[in-house]
Amino acid sequence: MTKKYSTNKERYEYITSQHGGFWRHDFIDHNYLYNLYFPPESFFTHITSHIHQLVLNYPMGQHDLACLIGDLIGQPPECIVVGNGAAELIKIIAGMNRKLIVPVPSFNEYANAMPAGNVVEFPLEAPSFQLDVDKFAAEAIRCKAGLAVVVSPNNPTSLLIPKKEIIRLLEKLAAYDCMLIVDESFIDFAGNGDQETLEQDIEKYPNLTIFKSMSKAYGICGIRIGYMLTANQDFASKIRQEIHIWNINGFAEEFLRLAPQYRQKFTESCNKVKADRDLFYKQLKAIPGMTVYHPDANYIFCRLPDHAASGPEITKKLFLEHTIYIKHCQGKTMPESERYLRIASRTQPENLRLVEALQAVIGLEIE
């Protein structure tokens, strides 16, 4: 690959303009959010031994893919739509010509994919950034939203919305023709995610749809799998009609075929992520003046000390001086967005290196 830069500063500017391919550029990526401990090595061995078949043959269609995910999560295939990542499904709902309401800050793609004028951003109040379900429901009803989105755990705040609160929200919206989309892409990293997920409750709530990107929890960003789960067959049918006939490639299909045999290894990998994350949280909290939010996902939301430089400046210094890349929150819809960082948890040695580098960069700002 021909490099697009000749200096470290140019490399930073190039990286910040990209949406992936980071592994080619030799730095520690605390920006993107995925499970470093999954899939197991036996999966890669299998893929390597079947590379010819996977490249040369057509993959399966939507119904059979839904059956594979159904086997994995214990749900009927008629309730599942399989996407080329959750991003494909988000793009489809954006074309439904419904007004969408989303709490902010949040994952930007929901708002970015919608046509101009079709998005209502509901501000989460600092410093807690907790969702007020009553106010959110009232605003959704007032603006006649046809779609409401909550991301739980949220991105970038890493905060879980308690299941009982989401159920209250579903009940409040039930009479107003408003579909609630709950994005659970990071719920496997929550301390009690198996109890907080709404996957087993879809039959109770016809106004509930769950989106899940498998890239995050399963560590498969490069093969792009996401799914939608809903008992509302009319809504599922509308989404399914917009899916291309071969939207999932053979590598993704093969992953879904093998995934059930790795259930125990997957659970173990998530537990390892959570243990690393919890230690990382304690280490970040030890930085004087840093406000560190207790995480429910595999990343940590922080507010920089008042004496430190801005998030964009800190991010750039970390890259230029320590070859570490993190996510600053400038541009997110929130007060003082330039003071906040979102830092992905990696391995314990990498997390410790990040903490030491961040302390050094913040310390330089005091002198």
- Give the rounded percent of residues in the chain with a pLDDT score beyond 70: 98
pLDDT higher than 90, residue 162 = yes
Q: What is the mean pLDDT of the chain?
A: 96
pLDDT higher than 90, residue 111 = yes
Q: What is the mean pLDDT of residues 94-103?
A: 96
Class of domain 8-40+264-366: alpha beta
- The residues, ordered by sequence, that sit 6+ positions from 43 with a Cβ below 8 Å of its Cβ are 255, 258, 262
Kind and range of the H or E run holding 351: helix 348-366
Strand partners, 212: 227
> CA-to-CA distance for 301 and 342, rounded, in angstroms?
5
Q: What letter would DSSP give residue 259?
A: G
In the chain, DSSP assigns E strands to 28-29, 80-83, 100-104, 119-123, 147-151, 179-183, 208-213, 226-229, 291-292, 299-303, 324-325, 327-328, 340-344
pLDDT digits (tens, 9 = 90+) for 142-152: 999 999 999 99
> CA-to-CA distance for 291 and 226, rounded, in angstroms?
33
CA angle, 170 then 201 then 132, to 5°: 30
Q: Which residue has the higher pLDDT, 2 or 283?
A: 283
Give residue 250's Cα distance to chain centre.
Answer: 23
Residue whose token pair is 């793609």: 109
- Alpha helices (H) along 128-248: 133-142, 163-173, 193-196, 214-218, 233-240
Q: Is the peptide bond before 40 cis (omega within 30 degrees of 0)?
A: no
Q: What is the mean pLDDT of residues 153-164?
A: 98
What is the domain partition of the chain in residue ranges? 8-40+264-366, 57-261
* pLDDT value at residue 366: 38
pTM of the model: 0.95
Does domain 57-261 fall into CATH 3.40.640.10? Answer: yes
**DSSP-assigned states of every residue in 306-324:** TTS--HHHHHHHHHHHH-E
Give the burial class of 354: count Cβ atoms within 10 A of its Cβ; 0-12 exposed, 13-18 middle, 19 or more buried.
buried
Kind and range of the H or E run holding 90: helix 86-94
* pLDDT value at residue 1: 52
pLDDT higher than 60, residue 163 = yes
pLDDT higher than 90, residue 182 = yes
pLDDT digits (tens, 9 = 90+) for 319-364: 999 999 999 999 999 999 999 999 999 999 999 999 999 999 998 5
Local confidence band at 365 (pLDDT 50, 70, 90 cut-offs): very low
- CA distances 33 to 86, 155, 220, 221, 344, Å, are 14, 10, 11, 9, 6
pLDDT digits (tens, 9 = 90+) for 223-275: 999 999 999 999 999 999 999 999 999 999 999 999 999 999 999 999 999 99
98-116 exposure pattern, b = at least 16 Cβ within 10 A, e = fewer:
bbbbbbbbbbeebbebbee
> CA-to-CA distance for 94 and 146, rounded, in angstroms?
11
Phi, psi of 46 (to 5 degrees): -65, -45
* pLDDT value at residue 367: 36
* pLDDT value at residue 2: 60
- What 3-state class would DSSP assign to 292? strand
